[in-house]
Amino acid sequence: MKLVTIFLTFLIYLTSLISCSFKEQIVNNKQEIAKVNDNSVISLKKNQIFHDNIKTVICQKKNKRNSVPIINLNSDDKLTIKFDALETIKKDYYYTITLCNEDWTINNLNKNEYLYGFINNQITDYEFSFNTKQEYIHYQFEFPSENIYPKLSGNYIFEIYDENNELAFTERFMVLDTKVLVEAKVRRATLAKYKNTKHEIDINLKHNDIDINDPFSDVKIHIKQNNHDINSITNLEPLFIKNNELIYDFEEENLFWGNNEYRYFDIRSLRFLSEEINNIQLVDDKYVVFLQNDFERTFENYSIMPDINGDFIIEVQEGWDSSVECDYAKVKFSLSMDKVGFGDLYLIGAFSDWEISEKFKLIYNQKKHKYEQSVILKQGFYNYQYALYDSTNNTIDLSFTEGSHYQTKNEYFIYVYLKDHMNSYDRLIGFSKKDSNDLF
Q: List, for residues 140-199, the tens digit of each pLDDT value.
A: 999 999 999 999 999 999 999 999 999 999 999 999 999 999 999 999 999 999 999 999
Whether residue 51 lies inside any domain: the answer is yes
pLDDT at residue 436 in the model: 87
The CATH number of whichever domain residue 231 belongs to comes to: 2.60.40
Name residues whose C-beta falls within 8 Å of residue 314's C-beta, 6 or more positions apart in sequence: 56, 58, 322, 323, 326, 378, 379, 380
Do 170 and 191 have their domain in common?
no
Q: Are residues 310 and 419 both part of a single domain?
A: no
Q: How far apart are the first and last CA of the chain?
A: 82
**CA angle, residues 422, 46, 261, in degrees to nearest 5:** 120
Domain containing residue 299: 263-402
Final residue before a domain boundary, out of 128, 156, 176: 176
Say yes or no: 139 and 284 in one domain: no
* 345-368 tens-digit pLDDT: 999 999 999 999 999 999 999 999
Same domain, 28 and 167: yes
Question: Does residue 11 lie within any of the structural domains?
Answer: yes
Q: Are residues 132 and 20 in the same domain?
A: yes
pTM as predicted: 0.89
Residue whose C-alpha is closest to residue 159's, from 299, 45, 24, 14: 45
Q: Both 70 and 205 in a single domain?
A: no
In terms of domains, do 13 and 131 share one? yes
Q: pLDDT by residue (tens digit) across 223-252?
A: 999 999 999 999 999 999 998 999 999 999
Same domain, 374 and 329: yes
From the number of C-beta atoms within 10 Å of its C-beta (0-12, 13-18, 19+), residue 357 rates as: middle
- Kindly state whether residues 185 and 146 are assigned to the same domain: no
Contact 168, 50 (CB under 8 A): yes
Are residues 25 and 165 both part of a single domain? Answer: yes
CATH number at residue 112: 2.60.40.10
Same structural domain, 236 and 321: no
How many other C-beta atoms lie within 10 A of the C-beta of residue 368? Answer: 11
Domain boundary among 148, 176, 204: 176
Q: Is residue 423 in some structural domain?
A: yes
- Name which of 431, 422, 427 is nearest 156 in CA terms: 427
| 244 within domain boundaries | yes
What is the DSSP pairing of strand 263-266 with strand 277-283?
Answer: unpaired
Residues 394 and 349 grouped into a single domain: yes
440 found inside a domain: no
Q: Please give the C-alpha separations between residue 175 and each of 44, 98, 151, in angstroms, as whole numbers.
A: 17, 12, 9
Mean pLDDT of 325-350: 97
Q: Report the b/e string of 110-149 with b at 16+ CB within 10 A.
A: ebeebbeeebbbebeebeebeebebebbbbbbebbeeebb
Cβ(46)–Cβ(36) under 8 Å? no
pLDDT at 438: 58
When divided into structural domains, the chain yields a total of: 3
Contact criterion met (CB below 8 Å) for 109 and 99: yes
